[in-house]
Amino acid sequence: MKKLDLLTLGDELLLGLRENGHLHYLGAEFARHGLPLRRNLVVRDEPAEIEAAFRDAWAGADVIITTGGLGPTSDDNTREAVARVLGLPLEFDPSAEAAIIERFARLNRRVTPRDQKQCYRPRGADLLPNRHGTAPGLYLEKDGKILVMLPGPANELRPMFESEVLPRLRLAGILAAEESYLQLRTCGLGESLVEERIRPVVEQHPGLGLAFCAHQGMVDVRIASGGQDFSTDELKVIARQMRDVLGEDFVCCGRHSLAKVVLDELRARESTLAVAESCTGGLLSNAFTDIPGASKVFAGGVVCYTNDAKVQMIDVPEDILMQHGAVSAEAAVAMVTGVAECLGADYALSVTGFAGPGGGDESTPVGTIFLGYASPVGVWSRKVVYSGDRLAVKARAVTTALDWMRRKLLKYKVEDLLAATGTEA
Amino acid sequence: MKKLDLLTLGDELLLGLRENGHLHYLGAEFARHGLPLRRNLVVRDEPAEIEAAFRDAWAGADVIITTGGLGPTSDDNTREAVARVLGLPLEFDPSAEAAIIERFARLNRRVTPRDQKQCYRPRGADLLPNRHGTAPGLYLEKDGKILVMLPGPANELRPMFESEVLPRLRLAGILAAEESYLQLRTCGLGESLVEERIRPVVEQHPGLGLAFCAHQGMVDVRIASGGQDFSTDELKVIARQMRDVLGEDFVCCGRHSLAKVVLDELRARESTLAVAESCTGGLLSNAFTDIPGASKVFAGGVVCYTNDAKVQMIDVPEDILMQHGAVSAEAAVAMVTGVAECLGADYALSVTGFAGPGGGDESTPVGTIFLGYASPVGVWSRKVVYSGDRLAVKARAVTTALDWMRRKLLKYKVEDLLAATGTEA
């Protein structure tokens, strides 16, 4: 297998100002395409550091990806450092200049002399067009090795990787034809419980590659061919067996979000959805509206942060807020029925709680959340309590609300089915 | 300045299954203590890879931190690989064994022969007690260099770093007494324009450490003492000069979000805010509600995804939607005045547009966004067009809306001030 190194530029990563999202993204992309990363080297935006790291990578690896340092400012040094190590002259490319002029004209921005820097490429390298920024990427095959240089901003790097880099690497024959692992997404169980649950299946298939990843209340299980012993078809059979033992804790195969799983189910029922949220402050609505085509299902949402907003916008009775407080099962129910009615939606979710750090009292401390769910079958509420900071509590509340709705939808589907065949639930 | 390298073990990082949280955490910690990381090397859990990477780090750096690979399982190889490179024998430490036995007794867990592996240390190394797990850390001074080996789980690493590692490094005299860089956040300018704007200031201060980081429409400028030549007070003076030349494109010092800057300004005016958003789908409300104490300012928001929702929830006249369409300046204005009125808010923002991939037409293609802003002084609308996928368009629209509001608030503050002093704006 080819040795693949990722060289990531950026002082801000080494200063802990930002997550190394490129490692996360490119690592997952390459793993999916059967060429896992061997190493990732994060270095500062300094010519000497970049040269040393690149020399090392070029000596040891077959494919080298660099990210960052292609822009117009004085701390963008990757192009120059790499050209020096490879002993290649930098040549001016008029087509790169034309693209920048065209882009800036469209954005009504002025081209500065500095921007010219981005129009140079090491001799023999191809330019990779940048649809979302000024600095083009670079692609070079030399001495039996492949070099790919990508711009730093994620919104430029990712589309360039998908539309320009993957096809070239496929052509070069170094990517697997199909995904070489399968992923099962679960929700509601801890990592060790997931492992215990699927153990009977794992024990039937010695040599199976197995990995777990826990994130935000979900656990992903990845099964891989291990020593190349399992075909994709066999992996699919094994995934099916795991799915069966996981039952309703299984969410989906692959990487769909809970919001997408819920939306797809509602779309299949030709139903609509409304959301009323207080402490999650828009995060729940946003989870749904991140999904392309959400507008077919998602009627709308209300972020009713104050009591007044609850009363005015979705007709929550003032008496309920006075008697039980805004963070109560009663308020969650009034919110969910109110928003469903106002927006004429078939289904609705509500969240009210104290995300912290302020708010809360003895009986309902910070971290207390009430959820409400309305469907054509009925209305439910549920209380959960989370620890952690404000953002963590918001995220956990959204995950729990989505997973709760997913299970309810699943449950009533099964029961409908049983009812239709005349069997008791 | 001492050269500091971080060696991070973990297949799951290279497979993109998990963020490299150790780089984020340790990078920030060391930067805060005046010893920024020089490099981070992420390698697989394989003895040969670990040895090669550690040999390289030990040769080039003065302080080396390793994370991961100290546990009991077969893929934990760091201790052994490091001892081989340093030519040090591994010695059994009964105190480490006693700590594990004590811990397991408390947890009612059985000690297995595998756990013994964690009781060995390279000759001359100190054990760092692990209060939250079994594998102790290791600390070694040798050949004028310092080696720190930390366990992989974040909940074990972080407390160990704070209580055991920082005090030792302070004693060794390699940490600075105070923070050694300042950050200025800007919005609305590209990276090259920011650099051009601050060039006069930079040229007055040769040797100044300077770095740029662009993200989501913002550019951060970081100034550092470089070769220890600038004191923190001098950096503050330079930051003030940059702030002056940046004018209203300067957002804040440090890392506050645009939403926090806007909320703080509204809080100072004792004013309230309402939001009506269509294509951003809750992301704008969420930006505000991520800020602790937002409820003092943020009255509420509406995610009015459909025309019906716009009409029913915030009284957008149907005629406007019929005549101009939901993605229009007229709709943005009707939304922003409607939501301000419904929620009795002093200020309001609205967003309507096509985030894609569906929607749009010839005159208003995907990526077209209309913003609305209402304040006690008046009502404005603004059109912007973005490329990129759905999530990128949503994020850019939110950034633009927040920055627009920030500038409006700033502008009218200055004018109020001028009016109060009897000067013409």
pLDDT tens for the 425 residues of chain A, in order = 799 999 999 888 998 888 899 999 999 899 888 788 999 999 999 999 999 999 999 999 999 999 999 988 888 899 999 999 999 999 999 999 998 888 888 877 788 888 888 999 999 999 999 988 889 999 999 999 999 999 999 889 999 999 999 999 999 988 876 556 788 999 988 777 888 899 999 999 988 888 776 677 788 888 887 666 788 889 999 999 999 999 999 999 988 999 999 999 999 999 999 999 999 999 999 999 999 999 999 999 999 989 999 999 999 999 999 999 999 999 999 999 999 999 999 999 999 999 988 888 888 999 999 999 999 999 999 999 987 788 888 999 999 999 999 999 998 776 666 666 655 43
Nearest CA in chain B to A117: B192
- Residue with structure tokens 């795991």? A242
Nearest CA in chain A to B50: A39
H or E element that contains A422: none
Find the CB nearest B38 among A44, A152, A359: A44
Q: Name the β-bridge partners of B140.
A: B147
What pLDDT is stored for residue A11 in this prediction?
87
Q: Under a CB-based contact definition with an 8 Å cutoff, are residues A160 and A137 in contact?
A: yes
State the nearest Cα–Cα gap between A66 and chain B, in angstroms.
14
Q: Under a CB-based contact definition with an 8 Å cutoff, are residues A331 and A352 in contact?
A: yes
State the nearest Cα–Cα gap between B421 and chain A, in angstroms.
36
Mutation target to probe the A interface, by most A beta carbons within 10 A, among B9, B12, B14 is B14
DSSP secondary structure letters along B20-58: -HHHHHHHHHHHHTT----EEEEE-S-HHHHHHHHHHHH
What pLDDT is stored for residue A239 in this prediction?
95
Distance between CA A225 and CA A228 in Å, rounded? Answer: 5
Distance between CA B367 and CA B364 in Å, rounded? Answer: 8
Nearest CA in chain B to A303: B301
- Residue with structure tokens 């708010």? A359
Torsion of the alpha carbons at B373, B374, B376 and B378, rounded to the nearest 10:
80
Q: In what order do the strands lie in the sheet with A378-385?
A: A378-385, A368-375, A347-353, A273-277, A298-303, B298-304, B273-277, B347-353, B368-375, B378-385
Identify which of A396, A399, A406, A333 has the alpha carbon closest to the alpha carbon of residue A370: A333
Residues lower than pLDDT 70 in chain B:
177-180, 226-228, 414-425
- Residue with structure tokens 């009986």? A363
Please state the separation of Cα A254 from the chain's center in Å: 12
What pLDDT is stored for residue A422 in this prediction?
55
For chain A, how many residues are written? 425
> What is the residue type of A291?
I
Contact B294 A283 (CB under 8 A): no
What pLDDT is stored for residue B214 in this prediction?
77
DSSP secondary structure letters along A63-130: EEEEES--SSSTT--HHHHHHHHHT--EEE-HHHHHHHHHHHHHHT----GGGGGGGEEETTPEEE--
* Rg, C-alpha atoms of chain A: 26
Contact A73 B192 (CB under 8 A): yes
Phi (first) and psi of residue B21, to 5 degrees = -65, -25
Contact list in B for residue A115 (CB cut-off 8 A) is 192
Contact B300 A298 (CB under 8 A): no
State the nearest Cα–Cα gap between A416 and chain B, in angstroms.
30
Find the CB nearest A153 among B15, B214, B298: B214
What pLDDT is stored for residue B424 in this prediction?
43
What pLDDT is stored for residue A40 in this prediction?
97
The token pair at B65 is 């931190």
Contact A14 B25 (CB under 8 A): no
Contact B37 A15 (CB under 8 A): yes
Phi (first) and psi of residue A160, to 5 degrees = -65, -40
Contact B343 A313 (CB under 8 A): yes
